[in-house]
Amino acid sequence: MWSLKFKMSLLLIILFSIIYAGIAIIGTIIGIANFYFYLVISLALMFFQYMIGPRIVEWQMRIKYIEGGEYLNLQRMVEELSQKAGIPKPKIGIAKLPIPNAFAFGRSLSDGRVCVTEGILQLLNEEELKAVLGHEITHLKNRDVLFITILSVIPLLLYHISWHLFWFGGGRRREQGGNIALVGAIAFLFYFITNLLVLYASRIREYFADKGAVYLGNKPSTLASALYKLVYASAQVDKESLKKVGALKAFFLNDPHQAVDEIQELSQIDIDKSGTIDPYELEALRRKKINLRFSDRLLEILTTHPNMLKRIKQLSQYQQLVS
């Protein structure tokens, strides 16, 4: 737990430093070199991201929060898991998306929200759904959702700055020489760096949330089966639907964009071809050494989620926690 908090806090410090450095460099280039100016702008950006992050997620994921007697079984599971985790019961939402998945977000524990898509309710059995919800509840308990909410907006902001300066800064480039082009290049560099930080943070939180789901009483094989089913179902989703949620895929339980490649590896774990991963198959994976290709390792650095084979391999190490 402390390892997670340390890594996520360190990422936030690095991110703030990058934002400050970027503003300082850009400010110096365009003739503004006041320390307090950089500090105020940096704090304002962070506060703005903190405030609007959940609204962006709600809008893009098309979330409708459930009320009263709706989805009683789902409400019961979330209430039980949040009590076990020792956190307030989060708001529960249904995302009107064609992709089977789940996610959690919010500014704080008291502002937590756990959402599932309509597709996942039809795809998973009750135990698998409970394991998925345990994963999402752990995100809230660890407060890493706050960090991701903040982090995810920053690369998007820097990308738009660089894009705007490159394509619409022509007049100012003639007035200020190459300064505007340089500012655009710096903004793009910081976009690339901060995006890698967001990706790394997202991968860390997935491993810890998987372990947290097990601590909340879910079997590793049950969560592994849920992940396997989600990957298989995501591989069937059309590209247009995937594009609509691409900007916020870091919030998802798995990355739907990687599903087509991942399903080939995961199908080898399903020895009896039942469409699930049972404890015996997970134990067989635990005893097996896996070697990822260099291309897979490189791809993982550039994605929001861990390589799924590595992730389920890590889940196999938690068998003793429930034995």
The CA distance from 69 to 132, in Å, is: 22
Residues in the chain: 323
- Catalytic option among 67, 118, 126, 136: 136
Other Cβ atoms closer than 10 A to 287:
7
Cβ atoms 105, 54 nearer than 8 A: yes
| Residue range(s) in the chain whose domain bears CATH number 3.30.2010.10 | 2-195
Provide the edge-to-edge strand list for the sheet that holds 113-117: 63-65, 91-95, 113-117, 102-105
- Strand 102-105 vs strand 91-95: parallel, antiparallel, or unpaired? unpaired
Give the per-residue pLDDT at 35. Answer: 47
Cβ atoms 111, 96 nearer than 8 A: no
Joined together, the tokens standing for residue 311 give 């992730």
What DSSP string describes 111-133? G-EEEEEHHHHHHS-HHHHHHHH
The CA distance from 248 to 59, in Å, is: 11
250 three-class SS: helix
Residue 240 bears catalytic tag: no
Place of tokens 């500090």: 39
The CA distance from 318 to 306, in Å, is: 17
In CATH, the architecture of 2-195 is 2-Layer Sandwich (3.30)
Cβ atoms 194, 154 nearer than 8 A: yes
Closest Cα partner for 225 from 98, 315, 114?
Answer: 315
Cβ atoms 278, 228 nearer than 8 A: no
Cβ atoms 89, 109 nearer than 8 A: no
Per-residue confidence of the chain (323 residues) as pLDDT tens digits? 556 667 767 877 887 787 777 667 766 665 555 545 555 666 677 677 777 878 888 888 889 999 888 999 999 999 999 999 999 999 999 999 888 999 998 888 899 999 999 999 999 999 999 999 999 999 999 887 677 666 666 666 666 666 666 665 545 445 544 566 776 777 778 778 888 888 888 888 899 999 999 999 999 999 999 999 999 999 988 888 788 777 777 789 998 888 888 888 888 898 898 989 999 999 999 999 888 788 888 888 888 889 999 999 999 999 877 75
The CA distance from 171 to 213, in Å, is: 55
